[in-house]
Amino acid sequence: MDYSFTFDYLILIIFILTGSSILGIILFISSLIRPSSKSTPDKLLPYECGNIPTGKPWIQFRIHYYIFALIFVVFDAVFIFLFPWAIVFKELGTRVFLAGIIFVCIPVIGLIYLTRKGILKWI
């Protein structure tokens, strides 16, 4: 690993540390100057427009969200391979272009399959 590569990630780490400490300082200042008041049982309830909340919110949610996440992972992983293809595109010409078209056809077939299965339809 050469020096500049490590240096790039050092920048990232320092930015994370500086950013989070600034946010921490802002929250700390806020905690110093804001008024503190007693918490009552009603104040600690989840906000549901004034009604007394019923049931638990941590429930099983729609499977659709999960399926969309799965589809996203597949598509994103496929399309990320197009980045190196796009960088060298100008130098390599027609054959690479045809290969790219064939490559793009694979997720398109996937999209047609998903449509036929009715998965992408939000009910």
Partner 1 sequence: MLLSLIFIIIQALIVFAIVGAAVAVTLYSEIKVASHVQSKLGYMRTGWHGSLQGIADMIKLLLKEEILPGKIDKLIFLIAPYVAFLPVFLSFIAIPLGPGLIVKDLNIGILYFLAISSVGAIGIIMAGWSSYNKYSLIGGLRSTAQVISYEIPHLLSILPVIMLTGSLSTVSIVNAQEKVWYIFLQPLGFLIYFISTLAECNRTPFDLPEAESELVSGYHTEYSGMRFGLFFMAEYTHVIAGCAMATILFLGGWRGVFLPPFFWFLLKTSFLVFIVLLLRWTLPRFRMDQHMYLNWYILLPLSLFNLIITGLGILLF
Residue 8 engages partner 1 in binding (rule: CB under 8 A): yes
**Number of neighbours of residue 85 by Cβ within 10 angstroms:** 15
In whole angstroms, the minimum distance from the beta carbon of 71 to partner 1 comes to 8
Return the sign of the alpha-carbon dihedral for residues 17, 23, 26, 27: negative
Residue window 79-98: x/- pattern of binding to partner 1, with contact defined by CB under 8 A: xx-xx--xxxxxx-xx--x-
Residue 102 engages partner 1 in binding (rule: CB under 8 A): no
Residue with tokens 């049931």: 55
Structure tokens at 8: 């790039």
Residue 45 engages partner 1 in binding (rule: CB under 8 A): yes
Residue 47 engages partner 1 in binding (rule: CB under 8 A): yes
CA dist list (Å): 27 to 17, 32, 87: 15, 9, 44
Kindly list the residues in this chain that would bind partner 1 in the complex (CB under 8 A).
8, 10-12, 14-16, 18-20, 22-23, 26-27, 29-31, 33-37, 39, 41, 43-49, 53, 57-58, 61-62, 64-65, 68-69, 72, 75-76, 79-80, 82-83, 86-91, 93-94, 97, 100-101, 104, 108, 111, 115, 120-123
